[in-house]
Structure 1
């Protein structure tokens, strides 16, 4: 798989890892749980992690505040048929899903300019 198709969604707000994963299942009913904090969604492995660098003060005041958001959602393609157009659409949909439950979401990707 091309590393350029991997992406991260940084999410801030008072939303748990469980709530984020539930929002993925709501947006993508065909997603399959892999572990407590991960799932297979549209040919990607999605993993939700607590951001070790989370800092609420910096999340609101720093120019790169998203680096200090509470959650880090890593999305890695697992099948060869995933292309950039697919990943752009998935990244947009995930950001909308996370924001729909009260999170602030920022996508970090090689294709950010297409979002």
Structure 2
């Protein structure tokens, strides 16, 4: 069974959002890469929950996105399209992490799918 493993919160001013979530919920943040992308640690690894990120908003309508880990990205893409979903951002490498794509479900809601692969480039 595939599970949600990550979330992304878009923000017009990510540093303001980082301070907000840190002060309100005690989340810990670390900047990742050269982009305006801050990884969020939302709790201890041995407790239920997921970690995520705050990122620079690319579009005013950009939603909060949950990403589901799948064992095979290509098969997941095929299943999404077969069941009336739509790929909105094709397969891309997240270097040293894995392969990522974004899709809309039949209701029009966007989510991500990720196949872990430390060799992704």
TM-score above 0.5, yes or no: no
Structure 1 or 2: larger strand share? 2
TM score, norm. by length of structure 2: 0.29
Give the structure with higher Rg (CA). 2
TM-score by length of 1: 0.31
